[in-house]
Amino acid sequence: MPSTKIDNAFTARNLNAAAEDPTHAGALSFMRRKYSKSLSGVDVAVMGVPFDAAVSNRPGARFGPQAVRRASAIFDNDPQYPFDADLFENLAVVDRGDVLLDYGNHSQTPKRIEKEAAKVVESGAKLITIGGDHYVTWPTLKAHFAKYGKMALVQFDAHQDTWFDDGKRIDHGSFVGRAVRDGTIDPEHSIQIGIRTHAPEDCGIKMLYGYDVEEMRIAEIVKAIKERVGDMPCYITFDIDCLDPAYAPGTGTPVAGGPSTAKMLGVLRDLGSLNIVGADIVEVAPAYDHADITAIAGASVAMYYLGLLAEQKKK
């Protein structure tokens, strides 16, 4: 028997220790991190937001946090590729569970998400959010803005999400435009990668369309992101539909012609020099998935975030 311990999500006493759970068993927190509401001594908190009432096509992303946590069990206790390191040796990470939302009272949803996100951000810990549809990024951005001020947005997505709204709509297709008009993000330092749809306005944000990404090398995409963002506080949001449906079928609004998981993970890997203040992975809808392909991609994105933050702390 490889270990005498199991259920590290509940039994962990050291936030900087690897779990010993079998890949196929044990309590499913994100990467077996301890479930905890306490933020004492925490560097990064992972938080699920099971909300999908803002979708314009197929629902189901409310089950995204469950699916991503389940898929993350595949990351065993070996050094994580491509970081070649135990990510938790120098990075204390907890799973704070999910935000409690009232499915019958969506008007309260933005405030509840923002309040829970603010608890993490105000503590000094970094927040990685697992959605949920892309609307959940809006109240999360507001919580970060309260601490960091205007931010650059690095958005991996098939959609611009810049459709105009009245400032009150709960809509996953308009949060970026709202964030620009509200002054939460700086469009002059923001960039969208993988766009394969058109919206009435670009809000001044630089776009790398799907065909651009197809023709560009990873290093060229990374250079474009870094030149655009500069040294501004940066929030990274990754809509899983940035990936081609061949690599991420389990999502609500799939768009053909996108990049591969390998290419986008390669881009993420080289963004460690950015001043990353927060990040999320959204729109994983497991009901449309096959063999957990999409959930594994989503869990990998979140793991890469942790890898970048671990390297930053070590340096």
What is the rounded CA–CA span in Å between residue 87 and residue 104? 39
Q: How many CB atoms lie within 10 A of CB 183?
A: 10
On the question of pLDDT at 4 being above 90, the answer is: no
Q: How much is the average pLDDT of 159-170?
A: 88
Q: How many CB atoms lie within 10 A of CB 312?
A: 17
On the question of pLDDT at 3 being above 70, the answer is: no
Domain limits, the chain = 8-314
Its pTM stands at 0.96
Q: Chain-wide mean pLDDT for the chain?
A: 95
- Domain 8-314 grouped into CATH 3.20.20.70: no
* For residue 82, cis peptide bond before it (omega within 30 degrees of 0): yes
In angstroms and rounded to an integer, the radius of gyration of the C-alpha atoms of the chain is: 18
Give the per-residue pLDDT at 1.
45
**pLDDT tens for each residue of 23-62:** 889 899 999 999 999 999 999 999 999 999 999 999 999 9
Helix (H) or strand (E) holding 111: helix 109-123
In the block, residue with structure tokens 């250079």: 223
What is the rounded CA–CA span in Å between residue 247 and residue 106? 32
